[in-house]
Amino acid sequence: MIDKFVQTMAEAMDGVKDGSTVLIGGFGSVGQPVQLIDALIEQGAKDLTVVSNNSGIGLVGLGRLLHLRRVRKIICSFPRSPDPVAFLELYRKGQIELEIVPQGTMAERMRAAGAGIPAFFTATSVGTRLAEGKEVREINGRTYVLEHALKGDLALVESWEADRWGNLTYRKSGRNFNPVMAMAAELSVVQTMHVRELGEIDQECIVTPGIFVDRVIHVPDGGPK
């Protein structure tokens, strides 16, 4: 019997290595798997590269992971939030590396990784400093920049519902980066608000099928704060 549910956070984070690239879902706090980030902090992995749209709010979740100096590099589109205190402190001291990526390019780089596409051309960022040093090519009269797939060792995902095969649904704008990150990582770990029996989720409504999911843990008190 396939059962991807784990009962403890220690099982959820088992085997995560120092130096991992960690994809963290969420747009601001919506869909951000805070309890899994806490579990990663507890697990102790360090020297991480984090891929996340934002750079953490206050000293909770991603903010706390940064504050504890576990992150060597952050890849994000918007290193701002109402309170990016942890990130800015490290950044101003030169204690964290920052790679700014346009939001759509970031999403597509992960989608490409999950889909087995090593790189792709996009018009986004052409003629700007974010394209400096990158290969460009003219295709049908327009200039494009080459962007490489962005693969994770670990993805941390928050879902609304999950069953034991790892089939997932999301809630409203809580979907955001979560499905592409689940596809793009070697190990995808999900915290879910609700647990469903196999077959209980309407099969036309499954957004992430279990093939992209490795472990699921029930976190009923997740959700945006």
By CB under 8 A, tell whether 4 contacts another protein.
no
Q: In this structure, what token pair is assigned to residue 78?
A: 């918007």
Asked if 151 is part of the footprint of another protein (rule: CB under 8 A), the reply reads no
Nearer to another protein, 16 or 23 (CB): 23
Closest distance to another protein from the beta carbon of 113 (Å): 11
Residues 1, 2, 7, 92: which binds another protein (CB under 8 A)? Answer: 92
Min CB(83)–another protein separation in Å: 12
What are the structure tokens assigned to 66, written together?
A: 């940064």
**13 vs 25 by CB, closer to another protein:** 25
C-alpha span between 122 and 138 (Å, rounded):
11
Largest Cα span, the chain:
55
d(C-alpha 139, C-alpha 126), whole Å? 13
Examine residue 58 and tell whether it contacts another protein (CB under 8 A).
no
85 touches another protein by CB under 8 A:
no
Residue 209 contacts another protein per CB under 8 A = no
Mark the segment that binds another protein (CB under 8 A) among 8-16, 58-66, 174-182, 196-204.
Answer: 174-182
Q: Among 125, 165, 116, which Cα is nearest to 144's?
A: 125
Do 25 and 61 form a contact (C-beta atoms < 8 A)? no
Segment 111 to 140, residues that bind another protein, using CB under 8 A:
111, 122-130
CA distance 188 to 182: 5
Shortest Cβ 104–another protein spacing (Å): 3
Which run of H or of E encompasses 224?
A: none
Output the CA–CA distances (angstroms, integers) from residue 86 to 39, 53, 60, 138, in the order listed: 18, 15, 10, 41
Binding site for another protein (CB under 8 A): 27-28, 30-31, 55, 77-80, 82, 87-88, 91-92, 98, 100-105, 107-108, 110-111, 122-130, 170-180, 207, 223-225
